[in-house]
Chains A and B, each alone.
Chain A
Amino acid sequence: MRLTVREVILGLRRAPLLSALSILTIAFSLFAFGLFGLVALNVSRTLRTIEERVEIRAFIADGTPVEAVSAAVGDIAAFPEVARVDMISPEQALARARKELAEFNDVFDADVLPASLEIRLKPGYRDPKTVQAVAARIRTYTFVDDVRYGEDWVRKLYNIRNVAGATGLVLGIAFAAVAVIIIGSTIRMTVLARAKEISIMRLVGATDGFVRRPFLIDGFVKGVVGGVLALLLAWLAHSLMDRYLIQTTFFDRSMAIVGVVSGGFIGLLGSAVSVGRHLHEV
């Protein structure tokens, strides 16, 4: 192991420019991927915030006994899809309407606004089909006059979410593939620069594993260093965007660690493929 580490250090010292170029190439490839990840993260968070607004409103017929409504609230809250049920009295509805639609203040009257139930759904149950199914069940209560949930809006939101998810997946795979190819080619240059050394190692009886090991460590280390640089660049981009354009969220600690370690593994994979190919050619 000590010999392997020494070979890695020697390799870095022997070709410092090539090593620096490899690290920068890895850093910029991962930075592009990281920027995409940042956009995807923020789009996904925004969509999730919008999704949280998906609610079903059940209007209650005038004169319904409070006990009946309270029992129904308990029932509905027990639905597996339901996160929360709130009962809104006509007075509360009026207060809210006055607050949200101040320009129509003089039109509102508590008598025209019915009592209602506001039902919020759990994450994962906010798709049009589930919302519709829950609404249908609520409609079966005899005291429910009407049920509304913005059918069109929910459908559009869900479509946007699906398109964003699919685009994100395809772009993510494409960015990752480009990063792996670029990093693999960079590491291949390192391998070719040390082709003579490899041929000598093989002539004197080094096993393939022995030849491969320093390159794998080299690839992993470069990947990790490139990953850290990419993370710094992404943070810089995020800070500038946050300050001058729009408020954005940055990766949390676990995402950052996963990103850097992924850089290491991409480097390791690139090295394994490049050295493997070279060993089979010679």
Chain B
Amino acid sequence: MIRFTHVTKEYPRTGIALNDVSFRIGKGEFAFLTGPSGAGKSTILKLVFMEEKPTSGDVRVSGMHASEIKRHEIPLLRRRLGIVFQDFRLLEDRTAAENVAFALEVTGAPRDTIPSRVSRLLTQVGLASKGTSYPRELSGGEQQRVAIARALVNDPMVLIADEPTGNLDDRATRGIFQLLRDINAAGTAVLMATHNLDLVRRSDYRVIEVNRGQIVFDSADSADAAEPLPPTSA
């Protein structure tokens, strides 16, 4: 479903961000993308939702190749993906329900189906009673749930989450992680970039570790590898 083949990404000003990266994520899989800041995690995610194109190599997502995709086809690809960020990216002047509905409206969903779908999604993320609240009236964890509900509007094949718990306290982090697990259990693949090694250790999901633009560890092809992650006090 997602396949990187010898992908290199170089920026004119900052140099090489990814160097010869290859991996694949299958249907319904849950994978962590870990590594220090600046390692290349966000670049990988941007390549997945085709915000960026590789300098060389091939990125294939849901059957579409980055080298061949036309600009007007990218929105169609993104409708098959759900994308969540650390800073939630909600519209401050719209309620939780309106933020979710907005994603349905821009993709041309039939108007009469929108309220029921929004209601179902808010219930799914545990915010059934918060539909009329504005983002400023919600906690960080609740805002991230709204963002996740919005990411799920088109029943995506894969949910891409870039540090979704980065701004949250422990309790909210656990709640969001559990929500992502539930989403994955329902069949949606999840690719989650995170710094939170505790979270990674507490689960037995696949871990892809990136450092200096290269994959230095992938639990999928290193079953016999030594402990990849350094001890943490977090």
A residues neighboring B (CB under 8 Å): 3, 10, 14, 196-197, 199-208, 210
* Contact A204 B78, CB 8 Å, known A3-B105, A210-B106: yes
How far apart sit A280 and B25, CA to CA, in the bound complex (Å)?
30
Are A205 and B89 within 8 A (Cβ)?
A: no
With a cutoff of 8 Å between Cβ atoms, the chain B residues found around residue A14 in the complex are 93
Task: Evaluate whether A203 and B78 lie within 8 angstroms (CB atoms) in the complex, with A196-B89, A197-B91, A210-B106 already known.
Answer: yes
Q: How many angstroms between the C-alpha atoms of A202 and B50 in the bound complex? A: 11
Partner of B72, one of A196, A199, A207: A207
Q: Which residues of A sit under 8 angstroms from B79, Cβ to Cβ?
A: 204-205
- Asked if B154 and A205 make an inter-chain contact with CB atoms under 8 angstroms apart, the answer reads yes
Q: Is the CB of B75 within 8 A of A202?
A: yes
Which of A199, A200, A204 meets B107, CB within 8 Å?
A204
Option from B72, B77, B93, B103 in Cβ contact (under 8 Å) with A204: B103
**Interface residues of B, count at CB 8 A:** 21
Q: In the complex, what's the smallest C-beta–C-beta distance from A150 to chain B, in angstroms?
A: 66
**Residues on B with beta carbons closer than 8 Å to the beta carbon of A199:** 89
* Interchain CB contact (< 8 A) of B78 among A3, A197, A205, A210: A205
Q: Are A204 and B102 in contact (CB under 8 A)?
A: yes
- Which residue of chain A is the closest to B85 with respect to CB atoms? A203
Task: Pick 15 A–B contacts, CB within 8 A, sort by A.
Answer: A196-B89, A196-B91, A197-B91, A201-B106, A202-B78, A203-B78, A203-B89, A204-B83, A204-B102, A204-B103, A204-B106, A204-B150, A205-B76, A207-B75, A208-B72
How far is A197 from B89 in the complex, measured between Cα atoms in Å? 9
The residue of chain A having its C-beta at the shortest distance from the C-beta of B154 within the complex is: A205
Contacts A3-B105, A206-B106 given; does A200 touch B75 at CB 8 Å: no
Q: How far is the CB of A238 from chain B (nearest CB, A)?
A: 42
| B contact residues around A200 at 8 Å (CB) | 89-91, 102
- Within 46-72 of B, Cβ neighbours of A (below 8 Å) are at 49, 71-72
A200 to B150, CA, bound (A): 10
> Inside 8 A of A207's CB, which chain B residues have their CB?
72, 75
Q: Could you mark each residue 25-49 of chain B with 1 if its beta carbon is under 8 Å from any beta carbon of chain A, else 0?
A: 0000000000000000000000001
**Interchain CA distance A73-B153 in the complex, whole Å:** 87
Does B49 lie within 8 Å of A204, measured CB to CB? Answer: no
Chain B positions 191 through 211: 1 when the CB is less than 8 Å from some CB of chain A, otherwise 0: 000000000000000000000
Do residues A203 and B105 form an inter-chain contact, with CB atoms below 8 A? no
- The docked-state distance in angstroms from the alpha carbon of A3 to that of B104 is 11
Q: Which residues of B contact A3 (CB under 8 A)?
A: 105
Contacts of B49 in A (CB 8 A): 203
Name the one of B71, B72, B83, B93 contacting A203, with C-beta atoms under 8 angstroms. Answer: B83
Cα-based distance from A206 to B72 in the complex (angstroms): 10
Taking the closest CB of chain A, its distance from the CB of B48, in whole angstroms, is 12
Among A3, A10, A204, chain B packs the most CB atoms within 10 A around the CB of: A204
Q: In chain A, what residue has the closest Cβ to B81?
A: A205
Inter-chain CA distance A201–B103, complex, in Å, is: 7
Chain B residues numbered 100-133 whose CB sits less than 8 Å from any CB in chain A? 102-103, 105-107
Q: A206 to B107, Cβ gap below 8 A?
A: yes
In the complex, what residues of A have CB within 8 A of residue B83's CB?
203-204
Shortest Cβ-Cβ A-B pairs, 9 listed: A205-B79, A206-B106, A204-B103, A205-B78, A205-B75, A207-B75, A205-B107, A203-B83, A3-B105
Q: Which residues of B contact A196 (CB under 8 A)?
A: 89, 91
Return the chain B residue nearest A206 by Cβ: B106
* Complex CA–CA separation, A202 to B77 (angstroms): 11
Give complex CA distance A196, B87 in Å: 12
> Shortest distance in angstroms between B33's beta carbon and chain A's nearest beta carbon?
18
- Assuming the contacts A3-B105, A201-B106, asked whether A206 and B75 have C-beta atoms less than 8 A apart, the reply is yes
Among B75, B93, B105, max chain A CB count under 10 A is at B75
Complex alpha-carbon distance, A196 and B88, angstroms: 11
Name the distance in Å between B129's Cβ and chain A's nearest Cβ. 24
Hey, which chain B residues are within 8 Å of A205, CB to CB?
A: 75-79, 103, 106-107, 154
Per the bound structure, the CA–CA distance linking A208 and B74 in Å amounts to: 10
16 additional A-B residue pairs with CB within 8 Å, beyond A202-B78, A203-B83, A203-B89: A10-B93, A196-B89, A196-B91, A199-B89, A200-B90, A203-B49, A204-B83, A204-B106, A204-B107, A204-B150, A204-B153, A205-B76, A205-B103, A205-B106, A208-B71, A210-B106
